[in-house]
Amino acid sequence: MFQSIFSPSVQHTIDLIGIFVFAVSGALLAVRKNFDVFGLAVIAEVTALGGGLFRDLVIGAVPPAAFTDLGYFLTPLFAAGLVFFLHPEVQRIETAVNVFDAAGLGLFCVVGTVKAYEYGLNLPASAALGLATAVGGGVLRDVLANDVPSLLRWDRDLYAVPAMVGAAMVAVCIRFDALNAVTSGLAVVTAFVLRLLAMRYHWRAPRAWNRRSTAVEVAETEDRDGKVPHYEATA
């Protein structure tokens, strides 16, 4: 299905662009955490390939593309090397990196949903794996860096929700036999724009209704020493 929308070369290029951008974001986090070059490379690989690897293992697409296409494996290493030597310059264009990361989020939620459906999953499960494809690498990155995953934190801008919307749009299009280059592109753009708006206006998901306690962040102590943020609970 997806092959009928985009040629294999275009699809491969899209994958590599998304992988590169995700790897850069992972490598930048590794620099902030003061990881060595090996740790930086591992975080870059996990961030870039973790979501797709999880998806392929669930749907039975083995061996996963990450292990059969050398480009998929080498692209994160290239991104890691770039950040290792040029991280001050890369840091200065982090806004641009975040924009491309948002684009990768939109691309991967669409690609992941379609691929899961092609392997026989129903539409809700396909959309769920589309979401996992888009955000799974980031979750693994945060876990390895000893952080609470960003998409679970109330004090972070919406990340999973835009991917959920994009994946859901693809599922609806498949249901009504309306998936084509235009509608899939619209799903990508929708997820992309929602993520950009969330970053621009700091949109966040609501917390539990009528909570009897609140968690107030006292100070962000995740500084150059890599300390973990501390929180204070008040009744």
Model pLDDT for residues 203-223, shown as the tens digit of each residue: 998 888 877 655 554 444 444
Residue range 85-111, pLDDT digits in tens: 988 887 787 787 888 889 889 989 999
Q: Give the start-end residues of each E strand in 80-229.
A: 214-219
CA–CA distance, 29 with 33 (Å, rounded to integer): 6
CB 133 within 8 A of CB 51: yes
With bands split at pLDDT 50, 70 and 90, how would you rate the model's confidence at 4?
Answer: low
Q: How many CB atoms lie within 10 A of CB 186?
A: 16
With bands split at pLDDT 50, 70 and 90, how would you rate the model's confidence at 139?
Answer: very high
Please tell me the total count of domains within the chain.
1
CB 83 within 8 A of CB 28: yes
With bands split at pLDDT 50, 70 and 90, how would you rate the model's confidence at 9?
Answer: confident
CA–CA distance, 118 with 125 (Å, rounded to integer): 12
Q: To which H or E segment does residue 234 belong?
A: strand 230-234
Stated pTM of the model: 0.84
Handedness of CA 61, 67, 71, 76 (dihedral sign): positive
pLDDT at 5 over 70: no
Q: Which of 7-16, 142-151, 217-226 has the lowest average pLDDT?
A: 217-226
State the residue range of the domain holding 113. 2-234
Mean pLDDT of 147-152: 89
Q: Determine the pLDDT at residue 229.
A: 46
Q: Determine the pLDDT at residue 70.
A: 93
